[in-house]
Chains A and B, each alone.
Chain A
Amino acid sequence: MNSLIIKHGRVIDPANRVDEVRDLFITGGKIAGAASSKADVIDATGKIITPGLIDIHVHLREPGRSDKESIETGTRCAARGGFTSIVAMPNTTPAADNTGTIAFIKQRAAEVACVNVFPAGAITKELKGEELAPIGSLKRAGVVAITDDGRCVQNNELMRRAVEYAKMFDLPVMDHCQDYNVAADGVMHEGYWSAALGLRGWPAVAEEIIVARNILLAEITDWHIHCQHLSSARSVELVRAAKKRGVKISAEACPHHFTLTDESVKEYDTNLKMNPPLRTEADRQALLAGLADGTIDIIASDHAPHCTYEKQVEFDVAPFGIIGLETELALSLALVHQKVLTLPQLIEKFTINPAKLLRLSKGTLSTGADADVTVIDPVAEWTYDVEQSASKARNSPFHNWNLKGRAMITIVGGKIAWQLE
């Protein structure tokens, strides 16, 4: 196996509290303590070298909807975005509620994926929220977490049992927080703009009720629940208070939620329709505060590809979700440029925090660790052109946005998975 020396870069490895300019050595797919004799040299002067970024919230759509995305195209997107590991959501067709689907995903990933793919399993059969999925078997088949993402378990008793049961297998439970009765048929945040646009509201309280429920269940089961894509100020406050009490609760935020607000829906662009919906400026500020003080541990994309023809419809009818892997890092680096986060704080949310949550032996540059590395130019200015995306989908609201900062090289297991031409 070939060796690499990445020279003169600023190495940021939050897990080891490293932030210094030095060379990084890779040999045999692992981080090495010293240079090997026949190593290729990469000059990373002025660049940042981090543990390979991890996105724990990605919809790869395979099996079942490979017209929207596939394991091959989805992982190419990830590599372009600087991600070396991604977690695949279980809402495929068939759902990842059985060991066969998990085996299929792992096999396809081994064949075509250019980054590491970790499958998440379902909490309930067919994500219906009615009966537990075979969680133990799923764990054995290799899932790193369980979630019904895209859907939310409404039955509190069932959710309690799922968490208790998952604890036995050391499996964290992730939850898409949405009370169906309260959110009803809402398609955007309930507030001034939903009233003005005549669109049905998906109120913040529909998320907050479930966040509160999850906190209570995490507390009584003493097990880990991770709240996916928080969108509202009160959700952040609930998680903050629970963490103070020592509850095993964690949370993620998506770039679109901390970058955009519900006002942007005013042109009825279906690329601004996502679940949970974009909320108010006050909510956005609360997400930033939550990211800054560590209440929100992780940044994830909720990369949700849809076909163009599916999105080119009435706002009510369009599916929820946007693609995000390729814009995620730049939109997050904006928080560093805006001095909301320091660079090490940001890198933590992309590396060691998700690795710890899902017990992945990833997210550090310790000697002997898997050589998953991302080289980032934090100030490169570029324009996102969705037509050039590696995704099969084009549903991004960030098309033509001028962005600052991007991945330059993505190294997976010591091999260059992608680099900027």
Chain B
Amino acid sequence: MSQVILMDATAIERALTRMAHEIVERNSNQDGLAIIGIRTHGVPLAQRLTGIVAGILKREIPIGEIDISMHRDDIGTRGASVIGATHITFDVTGKTIVLVDDVLFTGRSIRAALDEIADFGRPQRIQVAVLVDRGHRELPIRADFVGKNTPTALQERVMVRLVEVDGKDEVVIER
């Protein structure tokens, strides 16, 4: 097995800055903008994006985090793992939600997250932001904002490491 570094800390920072600007541009009416990270790695990414977006707009952006374990469709095939809590303290109804995750792969996490958010109310729209899109979708889901598109083989693993969780920033592909 070999590991190749796909993005280093600088590349990640640059990608997030670009994505933040795209989010601002795409949503000209920014009043209802809110950002939600998917546990675990989507949460620090959402925090960083929120920071940049808030800096651009010079105001607070509501942020939340969700755990999608309860909405997964593969319980019983994987065994139940730790369930984290979902924290959404604002009302999602009518909002434009940017859903943040680290890697977009099969699309099942995003599907579960969409269902989870629907349990909290009815947003006006939901957009998806991911640091890496590695392809191999199993559902009709696409990202609105992508840090890096990387074609991969199915058996390869893409790992996003972030300072907040892993002590350093990098994206690694394991072949």
Q: Do chains A and B touch in the complex (CB under 8 A)?
A: no
Q: Which residues of A contact B (CB under 8 A)?
A: none
Q: Which residues of B contact A (CB under 8 A)?
A: none
